[in-house]
Amino acid sequence: MSDDAISPLSGMLFLGGELTPGAGERITVENPATGEAIGEIAQATPTDIDRAVSEARTAFREWSRVTPHARAKALHRLGELIAADADGMARIMTLEQGKPLNEARGEILKLAEACHFYAEEAVRVHGEIVPNDKPGFQSLVVREPIGVVGAITPWNYPAELIGWKLCASLAAGCTIVIKPAEITPFTALAIARKVSDAGFPEGAVSVLTGKGSIVGQALVEHPDVDKIAFTGSSAVGLHIQQTCPRIKRLSLELGGNCPMIVTATADLDMAVAGATRRGFRNMGQICIAINRIYVERSIYENFIAALAKSADALVVGNGIEAPDADVGAMASAEPLTKTREHLADALDKGARLLAGGAAPEGEAFARGHFFRPTAVADCTHEMKVMIEETFGPLVGIAPFDTLDEAIALANDTPYGLASYAYTRDLFEVQKISAELDYGNVAINNVDAGIMNAPYGGRKQSGVGYEHGREGLLEYFNFKHVRLFHGVS
């Protein structure tokens, strides 16, 4: 059953600055809360892909020469248009992704914030004059936009993860072809519709829907795409790195397996609130979700009792009908299956179930991908929940005796995206922030990413940064101009 918000976008691509019916294979898109079909995508064909890239190249010649002030103005306009339609765009997101409407609305507003942030940054990109080894020379280091960007994005934050790439690209003077996740295409098309209203040149932004292995891979392999900006799993990120047939810039924002350390000096209530928020928000489908918690033994039983209570109190609902529910449906069957598998593995190996462990009961939950926020205690690194990314509403907890042990356990992972700690001891704060091998460390809070600080992973969590000035610099080449002027 198509929804009024979705039907104008169903079967469309965004090419040449407008929504265009696609001719490729149709793939049904479902509402994960009900299992109902809400629309379909038309898989972009090789002709569509070539068209998008070629129009992006043409638009790049114009857009890269537009003044930063004019780029900023267009981005501010885009931010205003998006914010003005936050309710409509949120509905589209909830229908395809499952998160509660209020949370979807918050994400749309953060997308608008990204537009304004990068609009402001656009006019602050400057070069440098570098001292020379001989008199009469001057070295200018200038920044030039890379060119055509291929953006490939996942389904958990269907607006923000496009927005960071879109806004930074456009601010830098690049043009962009976006391949959103197959299960959340309509938010991307809704964003593109705003792009056309904001007055960017035709072809500066395109959206190609379809399977990642076909449409995404075609962008990776396309000889005229200069950079791939990818967010998704480490496995697909590695595949992209290995199969990219020519030298091109890659930024890879990948998976995580994020730890939290709670020492005996922590404010327990704050730590429990933080663990609940970052463990279960968006049904744990966040790259920076807390997957595993290490708690100092003297406060362990108190902490797990409080966390169990807090997890049990979370309201699960259909995101459209219960806009202010704490969590909605999971986005598809796949992460739910993995959550169940990690839970079964933990329980088999001796973990103690503290909260959740099953789908909520009732007719309202019968056909959607619902699950109760779930916590398990007494976990070890033999269990998948502690060493793999669950990407679902499951948190594993284990006690520790010394801070060195906790830090070693926290670092015992191939990932390095985000980490968390609660402590009120200055020495512990300093030691933890210095020794955790992660791109983001949040102490006494769980909001590891803010718009104006760099956000990126290390190790198998990726290369490159989004957010902040660093996120913008990912879209530039540096050029060194060495000039002899003879004035000494």
Q: Which residues bind ligand TAP (CB under 6 A)?
A: 152-156, 161, 179, 181-182, 211-213, 216-217, 220, 231-233, 236, 239-240, 253-256, 287, 389, 391, 417, 457, 462
Query: Closest separation between CB of residue 465 and ligand TAP, Å?
Result: 10
Identify whether 253 is a catalytic site residue. Answer: yes
Q: Which residue has the tokens 């309201």?
A: 315
Contact between residue 153 and residue 165 where contact means Cβ atoms under 8 Å apart: yes
Query: Closest separation between CB of residue 463 and ligand TAP, Å?
Result: 11
Buried-state track 164-192, b at ≥16 Cβ within 10 A, e below 16: bbbbbbbbbbbbbbbbbbbbbbbbbbbbb
Catalytic residue among 287, 379, 428, 466: 287
Q: Whole-angstrom Cα distance, residue 226 to residue 207?
A: 17
Query: Closest separation between CB of residue 411 and ligand TAP, Å?
Result: 18
Residue nearest to ligand TAP (CB): 212
Contact between residue 304 and residue 315 where contact means Cβ atoms under 8 Å apart: no
Length of the chain measured in residues: 488
What residue ranges in 352-471 does DSSP mark as E strands? Answer: 352-355, 374-377, 394-400, 415-416, 418-422, 440-443, 458-459, 462-463
- Partner residues linked to 12 by β-bridges: 21
Residue 213 or 298: the one with the smaller Cβ distance to ligand TAP is 213
Query: Closest separation between CB of residue 331 and ligand TAP, Å?
Result: 9
Query: Closest separation between CB of residue 334 and ligand TAP, Å?
Result: 7
Residue 76 or 278: the one with the smaller Cβ distance to ligand TAP is 278
Residue 331 or 375: the one with the smaller Cβ distance to ligand TAP is 331
Residue 402 or 452: the one with the smaller Cβ distance to ligand TAP is 452
User: What backbone torsions phi and psi does residue 158 show, to the nearest 5 degrees?
Assistant: -65, -20
Contact between residue 325 and residue 100 where contact means Cβ atoms under 8 Å apart: yes
SS3 311: helix
Catalytic residue among 40, 253, 428, 474: 253
Residue 115 or 236: the one with the smaller Cβ distance to ligand TAP is 236
User: What backbone torsions phi and psi does residue 294 show, to the nearest 5 degrees?
Assistant: -110, 125
Residues with a known catalytic role = 253, 287
